[in-house]
Amino acid sequence: MQGVPPVNEPRKIREERERYELGRDNFALRQQGYSLREIATMRGCSAPTVARHIRHFEQVEGLR
């Protein structure tokens, strides 16, 4: 993360940034060989949610 985001950051922008960062981290874990289910267990969410975050990251970065 490049610095701390402003406290008054608009909700929509903050949610977009958080989704991107989750996707980036989950993508890295997938590259290390973790399954969607393992990542979901670590994150405390469902495997489809993990997949959705990874897909979002890939689209933003042009990997998909």
How many Cβ atoms from other residues are within 10 Å of residue 9's Cβ?
12
pLDDT at 63: 85
Domain count within the chain: 1
Residue 24 domain-assigned?
yes
Residue 2 domain-assigned?
no
pLDDT at 20: 93
pLDDT at 2: 60
Q: What is the 3-state secondary structure (H, E, C) of the chain?
A: CCCCCCCCCCHHHHHHHHHHHHHHHHHHHHHCCCCHHHHHHHHCCCHHHHHHHHHHHHHHHCCC
Residue 54 domain-assigned?
yes
The whole domain housing 24 covers 11-61
Residue 37 domain-assigned?
yes
pLDDT tens, residue by residue, 12-46? 998 999 999 999 999 999 999 999 999 999 999 99
pLDDT band, residue 6 (cuts 50/70/90) = low
Instruction: Supply the pTM of this predicted model.
Output: 0.79
